Amino acid sequence: MFQTMRTAWKVADLRKKILFTLLIILLYRLGNAVPVPYVDLDLLNSYFSGHLQNTVLDLLNVMSGGALSNATIFALSIQPYINASIIIQLLCIAIPALERMSKEEGEEGKKKIASITRYTTVVIGLIQGFAYYMLIKSYNVLTDDGIWAAIVIILTFTSGSALIMWLGEQITEFGVGNGISIILFASIISRFPTDLINMISGVIANPNTWWITLLMLLGALAMIVLIVFINDSERRIPVQYAKRVVGRKMYGGQSTHLPMKVNMSGVLPIIFAQSIASLPATIAAFTGHSDSVWASTTNVVYAIIYFLLIIFFAYFYSTIQFNPIEVANNLKKNGGYIPGFRPGKPTSEFIKRVLNKITLFGAIYLGIIAVVPILVACFSETAANSGVSLGGTSIIIVVGVAIETVRALEAQLLMRNYKGFLE
């Protein structure tokens, strides 16, 4: 692998792509260190480490690499863009005009959808920037709460989210991999040194707990192995194409398969489930009732609700992304069929049954990844205070983006007839 990386580095244009990606990541990290004016950072950090722990804002802070708790110009991170993308995707299903634009107008339609997503990102950035300003204002962490200070802070947050969107698009076009995913990856990875320091400090303070820390690390490693295994898992449905004669040539007759990913929805069910399940804790933090039992995110009741929400959103997104009726109709139009099932309705019903089974398996897998760290923290206070970050969402995102980037680099190498990572 290291030899392959050295080979990739020797390719001039590929080296430029890697350096460009690293430069964008550096600019993003520098932006995360520049705070907005009129904010008392020490007081804001104390609120995040106390009242706002285990809330939606704490999750967003992890996704932003700590930028939210420091009120930097990139405090909103890529959340406005992600929310805008999800909203536009749902609207493309609900609104026929947008659906035609995305499917029938080709590259021009995709450009229009991308433009609409950008404008939606700015609008959502304004809304989230205003909400975050009102939050920090309610905690009295502003050195100046006048109108001018409000305008500066809100516009800085909004422009920061728009700039992150632009940086991500530059990585996608001129760098390696998906830009937005890489920025999210960099945000989560940036917290690992702090977690490592906390882990070492915890072991030094309590030498008798070293074995618990070791078990937590081994658990994280096992989780990574499981994520890599499931990420490449798919259910392959055999498909046979009928033979047909056109003139003197015979077409069709070949056998292929219909691949169906086990984890079709990715990490989105976890993100949405965590946001909804953490709402009581978030409301309690805003109202000053953070000591309430319902505000806790480290008990069994929260874990059960969290698990059920993950299963619900997994089925919801798999239904949106994969339409068995449309797949069955496409097979019928192209002369394909699944052995043992007639084209049309019997084929769509079979595909739907398979989809439900693998979605259930994928949902249970996501639920286990997300809930296990919560249960460990619930039943072991020592493990909860060990300093080891075992967030299921973070691990899935980091591993998924790493695999995606390696494959993108592999594709670049294969185009140049070099031996790649997967060989």
What is the set of domains in the chain, with CATH numbers?
1-191 (1.10.3370.10), 201-388 (1.10.3370.10)
Distance from C-alpha of 190 to C-alpha of 196, rounded to nearest angstrom:
11
User: Can you give the pLDDT at residue 387?
Assistant: 44
Query: Of 222-236, 263-277, 285-299, which has the strongest mean pLDDT?
Result: 222-236
User: Can you give the pLDDT at residue 55?
Assistant: 61
pLDDT band at residue 389 using 50, 70 and 90 as cut-offs: very low
pLDDT in tens, 318-358: 887 788 888 888 888 877 888 888 888 888 899 899 989 99
Single pTM value for the model = 0.77
pLDDT in tens, 270-295: 777 877 777 776 666 566 555 555 55
